Every structure is written in structure tokens, then in C-alpha cells.
Amino acid sequence: MYQFSFKKILLNPLVWIGVVLAIFTIQYEGLHGAYGIFYNPITYRNLAIGSCIYVLIFRRQYTRKLRKLDIGETLICCLETMCIILFVWMFVLGLYVEFHTGGELYSEMVKHKLTRAMER
């Protein structure tokens, strides 16, 4: 049976690529414009190119006797890599942005309640 462990997730380089992309997105786009990157088709083109390069360097798939490169399996591996990176990127970005915007809304609510209490 396949055993699930967080160690395998944390040591996966695809997860760290997604985290780094989320950090760069927050750094360059800011909190309020961070989701705009996913509406740009150039993002997906660059992600596809990057995932294909990653697969060709680290995860090439060969036929049974290791004679030829299996193109179909390699393309499936490229799509899998792209989906993992995109999922982690969106997930980390969503957690970070929602945490900060929720904190800002809570801060505004507390300030509003405090000013109403001070007026009484």
C-alpha cells in the first residue's frame, strides 16, 4: 500500500517551484493584483515551456528497453508537472492573499467598533 507522508511533499521540487512562483507573484504584483497573473495567457505559455524543460532534464520517459524516448509518456509527464506547479502556485497564493485581506478586513472592523464605542 502507498504510504502518505508530508516528507515526500516537502521534498518534491515541483512544490517548491510553485511556492517560489507564488512569492515572486506577491512581490511583483502585490496583494490586490496577484490573481491577475492567471488571466494572462503568457503565464501559461511560460509555465508549459518551463515544465517541458524540467521534464526533459529530470524526468524523461523511455520505452521498455531504454532504446527510444517515449514521446507520449513524456508529454503526459509534462502535463502532470505543469498541473502540480499550477495547483501549488494557486493554492499558496490564495492562502497568502486571503489571509492578508481577511486580516485587513478584521482590522477595519475592530477599528470601526472601537470608534463607535469611543463615541458613546
Which residues are paired to 62 by β-bridges? 69
Which residues, at least 6 apart from 96, have a Cβ–Cβ distance to it below 8 Å?
A: 22, 26
- Read off the pTM: 0.80
Tens place of pLDDT per residue across the chain (120 aa): 567 788 888 888 999 999 999 999 998 888 778 888 899 999 999 999 999 999 888 877 777 777 777 788 888 999 999 999 999 999 999 999 888 888 888 888 888 988 988 887
